[in-house]
Chains A and B, each alone.
Chain A
């Protein structure tokens, strides 16, 4: 089993931004997008997120699995719960409103009354902008951030050294454990073990998994004892740790952090001081349905 990280160096602008600045910016977008339902603010945040995403120079081929997952989430949340059942709009969209099809619609000769309102449809658009803004900044992280940078980034962002090193160490173990997983799978297959996805109910699936999961887990625990002893012999944790992969702020990283802070502060100010926090529908949207 070959484990391949999704990151590769593309010489994109994103490759030259410090990971700390990237995390700060990403969380600023998350908080800005979740502070308000105002359409103008959400649109501004959405445009900033698209611009940020474009800095990564990612292709559709690179990120299609991530977008597939997000599409499933968007379909469930927006199409089914907000548009069809109206559930997702509860609490944000006021009750009542203007029907999209006030006279009903005819489908296959049958007359149907559909309760979808113009307001709920706009809420779906707002929800789409909010979720996509957040998805755009977070989905790109695995594709554009070097796996060697995570430990040192979280350490420099204030995570205790031991925790940051745990993260670093877990990256190191992934290829080894993937190989062990494959070796165990091959050994069990040689004994007649079958692991066919999609066959059987959940109990049968669990029965299929146990002969694979148990030896892999126990093997990993037994081998970790030797690693811990080796680390102790080398004096692990006696002094503050240094990192092989070094991070360095440039002027543009400070500019990004400053932009993120100003953007978030502006959104909070507009939302709470100027009362632009609640859901509203622009007039031009009503015009489309008249």
Chain B
């Protein structure tokens, strides 16, 4: 399996060197800035869940740079976004966002040509799994924190977050992957 058009090296999805540190930091900052900028699209009455186009950023950084970068992008990015917006510090939702980037990262070993149909299908699958597991974990933690029952958790927390996140992810991730493929091809990464 080749990771680029040119190098022919095998991908190691768990490496975390200088480049990954920078990608993760950039990803987290980008996630925070875009989330903050789009916070005006909060859905009233649906828990603490907003429509966030930025959710595609941890998913994409996971697919492109591996699970650790994806996790940090979502986890730290959500902490920073909440800090910028003044929403406080909610570790279980931060972890959920981290998982939303980590799961696509696990698929990154199978994605080596970002504009191929097969790679995009893997990416789309990872979006559904990542959003399901990430938002599922965060929503279920509300049962422990606020004593809500399973119906409340599903209808007030999980479904609004999961459905909006997969819509953004499924549509925007392929566009980002194709755009990134052009950069990879041009720069020979």
Seen from chain A, the residues whose Cβ lies within 8 Å of a Cβ on chain B are 1, 3, 5-6, 26, 30, 34, 37, 62-63, 65-66, 69-70, 72-73, 75-77, 80-81, 87-92, 123, 126-127, 130-131, 134-135, 138-143, 147, 162-163, 165-167, 169-174, 176-178, 181, 197, 202-203, 205-206, 209-210, 213-214, 216-218, 220-225, 227-228, 231-232, 236-237
Contact = CB atoms under 8 A, between A and B. Distances in A.
B60 interface: yes
B16 A214 contact: no
Interface in B92-107: none
Interface residues of B, number: 71
A115 B54 CA distance: 42
Contacts of B25: 166-167, 169-170, 172-173
Given A166-B72, A174-B33, 12 more contacts: A5-B83, A72-B46, A77-B142, A81-B151, A90-B151, A91-B149, A123-B147, A166-B76, A169-B21, A176-B29, A205-B41, A221-B183
29 contacts: A3-B84, A30-B145, A65-B87, A76-B46, A80-B156, A81-B149, A81-B152, A88-B148, A88-B149, A91-B149, A138-B89, A140-B88, A141-B88, A147-B83, A170-B24, A173-B25, A173-B29, A181-B34, A197-B40, A205-B41, A209-B38, A209-B53, A209-B172, A218-B183, A221-B64, A225-B187, A228-B19, A228-B21, A232-B18
Q: Name the prevailing secondary structure of the B interface residues.
A: helix
Interface stretch (B6-14, B119-127, B130-138, B173-181): B173-181
A285 B123 CA distance: 55
Nearest to B53: A209
B51 to A, nearest CB: 8
Contacts of B30: 173, 177, 216-217, 220
B16 A73 contact: no
Contacts of B90: 138
Contacts of A92: 147, 149
B47 A73 contact: yes
Contact of A81 (B18, B84, B156): B156
B47 A72 contact: yes
Contact of B33 (A89, A138, A169, A177): A177
Interface in B23-49: 23-30, 32-34, 36-38, 40-42, 44-48
Interface of B: 16-19, 21-30, 32-34, 36-38, 40-42, 44-48, 51, 53-54, 56-57, 60, 64, 72, 76-77, 80, 82-90, 142, 144-152, 156, 164, 167-168, 171-172, 175-176, 179-180, 183, 187, 189
Most chain A C-beta atoms within 10 Å of own C-beta, residue among B25, B27, B48, B53: B25
B19 A217 contact: no
Contacts of B179: 214, 217-218
A221 B23 contact: yes
A214 B30 CA distance: 12
Contact of B37 (A131, A176, A181): A181
Given A77-B152, A222-B183, A170 B32 contact: yes
